[in-house]
C-alpha cells in the first residue's frame, strides 16, 4: 500500500485539478457558453457524471497536479494515464450526453481518440505527463493538433445544450475534456510559470473555449458535418505528424 499515492490521488480528485478546480472551470464554461438549465433536478446519473469528470480532470497533466509527476502506476490509486482518462471521460459523456449516437458523432469520437492513441504509441507509454512533454517539433505539433481535434469534437460528444441532464453535470464533463485537451497542448509551455499562474491560465482558456462554442450551438445541436470535418482535419494531420515524429 502506498499512503502517499493514495493522498495524491485524493487531493487530485477532490481539489486540483479535479474537484473544486474543475467545478470553477465548469462554472466559467457554463457562463461563457450560456448553457441552458436542466429540465430536472440533479439525478444520481448527474452525480456519477460529476465524479467521473472529476477523476478525468485529476488525470490531466496540469502543471502542479499531484499526479502529473507520476509516470508509472502507483501501488494504490491512479497514475496520470491516458487509458484511465479515456475510460472515465467516456463514462462521464455516456451519463450526460444524448443516448442517440449518429454516424457523425461516432466519427467525431473516433477522430478525437485516434491521434491520442497514436501519440501514446509514439511515446511507448500511456503516461499523460510523458505524452504532454514529448520532444521534437513534429510530435509537439501532433500533440497540439490532437488536442484541437479533441476540443472541436467534444461539444458534439457531450451535447452541452441538451437540457435533459443537469447543467452542472454537462458543464463539468465538457470542462474536464477541455482541461485534458488544453493541458496536453500547452503543458510544456506552462511549466515555466508558477503553479497558480499556470492553473489560472488554463481556467481562462476553458472560459474562452466556452465562449467559442456559444456561436456554434446550432451546429452542435444538428451535428453539422462541418464540425465533423473540423475535427477530422486536425486529427488526420496529428496522425501524420505523429508517424513522422516516430520514424
DSSP helix/strand/coil, 237: helix
Query: How does residue 72 score in pLDDT terms, banded at 50, 70 and 90?
Result: very low
pLDDT at position 216 is 96
For residue 147, pLDDT over 80 is answered with yes
Phi-psi region of 77 (alpha: psi -120 to 50; beta: other; left: phi over 0): left
Of the CA atoms within 13 Å of residue 172, those in its CB half-sphere come to 30
For residue 205, pLDDT over 70 is answered with yes
Provide the mean pLDDT of the chain: 89
pLDDT at position 69 is 58
Q: Which three cell numbers stand for residue 104?
A: 457523425
Domain residue ranges of the chain, discontinuous segments joined by +: 3-246
**Which has the closest alpha carbon to 115: 141, 81, 80, 79?**
141
pTM beyond 0.85: yes
Gap between the Cα atoms of 86 and 140, Å rounded: 20
Q: Mean pLDDT throughout 153-162?
A: 96
For residue 224, pLDDT over 90 is answered with yes
Q: Mean pLDDT throughout 165-170?
A: 95
Q: Decide: 152 and 231 in contact? Cβ < 8 Å.
A: yes
Query: How does residue 115 score in pLDDT terms, banded at 50, 70 and 90?
Result: very high
pLDDT at position 134 is 82
Phi-psi region of 100 (alpha: psi -120 to 50; beta: other; left: phi over 0): beta
For residue 172, pLDDT over 50 is answered with yes
**Which has the closest alpha carbon to 230: 99, 142, 108?**
108
Residues of the chain above pLDDT 90, percent:
66
Q: Mean pLDDT throughout 53-77?
A: 74
Phi-psi region of 43 (alpha: psi -120 to 50; beta: other; left: phi over 0): beta
Amino acid at each position: 500500500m502506498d499512503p502517499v499515492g493514495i493522498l495524491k490521488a485524493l487531493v487530485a480528485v477532490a481539489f486540483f485539478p479535479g474537484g473544486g478546480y474543475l467545478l470553477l472551470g465548469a462554472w466559467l464554461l457554463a457562463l461563457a457558453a450560456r448553457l441552458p438549465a436542466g429540465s430536472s433536478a440533479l439525478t444520481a446519473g448527474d452525480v456519477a457524471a460529476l465524479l467521473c469528470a472529476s477523476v478525468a480532470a485529476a488525470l490531466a497533466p496540469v502543471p502542479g497536479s499531484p499526479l502529473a509527476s507520476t509516470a508509472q502506476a502507483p501501488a494504490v490509486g491512479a497514475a496520470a494515464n491516458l487509458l484511465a482518462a479515456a475510460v472515465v471521460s467516456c463514462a462521464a459523456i455516456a451519463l450526460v450526453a444524448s443516448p442517440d449516437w449518429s454516424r457523425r458523432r461516432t466519427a467525431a469520437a473516433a477522430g478525437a481518440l485516434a491521434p491520442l492513441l497514436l501519440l501514446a504509441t509514439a511515446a511507448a507509454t500511456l503516461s499523460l505527463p510523458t505524452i504532454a512533454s514529448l520532444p521534437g517539433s513534429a510530435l509537439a505539433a501532433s500533440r497540439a493538433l490532437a488536442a484541437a481535434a479533441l476540443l472541436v469534437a467534444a461539444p458534439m460528444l457531450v451535447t452541452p445544450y441538451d437540457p435533459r441532464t443537469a447543467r452542472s453535470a454537462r458543464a463539468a464533463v465538457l470542462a474536464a475534456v477541455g482541461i485534458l485537451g488544453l493541458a496536453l497542448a500547452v503543458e510544456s509551455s506552462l511549466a515555466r510559470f508558477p503553479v497558480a499562474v499556470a492553473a489560472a491560465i488554463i481556467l481562462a482558456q476553458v472560459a474562452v473555449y466556452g465562449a467559442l462554442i456559444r456561436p456554434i450551438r446550432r451546429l452542435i445541436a444538428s451535428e453539422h458535418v462541418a464540425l465533423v470535418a473540423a475535427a477530422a482535419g486536425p486529427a488526420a494531420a496529428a496522425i501524420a505528424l505523429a508517424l513522422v515524429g516516430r520514424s
